[in-house]
Amino acid sequence: GENVEQHPSTLSVQEGDSAVIKCTYSDSASNYFPWYKQELGKRPQLIIDIRSNVGEKKDQRIAVTLNKTAKHFSLHITETQPEDSAVYFCAASIRLVGGGSNYKLTFGKGTLLTVNP
Amino acid sequence: EPEVTQTPSHQVTQMGQEVILRCVPISNHLYFYWYRQILGQKVEFLVSFYNNEISEKSEIFDDQFSVERPDGSNFTLKIRSTKLEDSAMYFCASTRGAGQGSYNEQFFGPGTRLTVL
């Protein structure tokens, strides 16, 4: 089955610096790659996603890149702020039987990002 | 904004007991999922449910587990005879579903922390 590796497990940056989190996946059939942010004690929330037919996507200070050939994708956060501190999870997904939007997410282990003021 | 809700937030049970974890997905969503996260480990896919049947389950989802959508709003996960290793955070998620070829965000609930003693 799919395996997703995520690095680093912890990342500490100064406010205003950039943060980069990297993930690799194993199954070339994976075609959708969401990133979730989870603040302490709260639910995971989608912050950005990318589909396999796109190489890069940006939303304000957050960007994601995908290299299908190398099977890796990365999250980039620029101008980090203390409120960016959280655990970030990458995921790769494969569409399931039933079509439509039925797919299962395989998650990385998460990266604890700390932004120091 | 509508949210997935889960009850209880924390469940403590004795080994061998049955537990039922409850979820209320977002009302117009079509696809439903359970994931679990053992402390310090990855979020892992357990099962997906669509059109009143399981569409995919992981190897974790053995005969001790079952899911049900007993009415139009609730989605439950039952563990018949809990083991110590079932202790984890269990997340319910749902997706809107919008036809072939579409990708839609999986919205997560806040989780139920299950502790098996």
Measured distance CA(A59)–CA(B9) in Å, rounded = 33
Higher pLDDT, B39 or B8: B8
Whether residues B42 and A46 touch (CB distance < 8 A) is answered with: no
| Residue A96 sits at the chain B interface (C-beta within 8 Å) | yes
* pLDDT bracket for residue B110 (50, 70, 90): very high
Q: Is the dihedral of CA A81, A54, B106, B34 positive or negative?
A: negative
- pLDDT per residue rounded down to tens, chain A (117 residues): 889 999 999 999 999 999 999 999 999 989 899 999 999 888 899 999 998 888 999 999 999 999 999 999 999 999 999 999 999 999 999 877 766 677 889 999 999 999 999
The pLDDT of B86-94, averaged and rounded, is: 96
B116 C-beta neighbours (distance < 10 Å), count: 19
The predicted structure's pLDDT at residue B99 = 57
Q: How far is A115 from chain B (nearest CA, A)?
A: 21
Measured distance CA(A8)–CA(A73) in Å, rounded = 13
* Nearest beta carbon to residue A102 from set B43, B48, B91: B48
Measured distance CA(B5)–CA(B22) in Å, rounded = 8
State the DSSP code for B84.
G
The predicted structure's pLDDT at residue A15 = 98
Measured distance CA(B116)–CA(B12) in Å, rounded = 6
State the DSSP code for A53.
T
* pLDDT bracket for residue B11 (50, 70, 90): very high
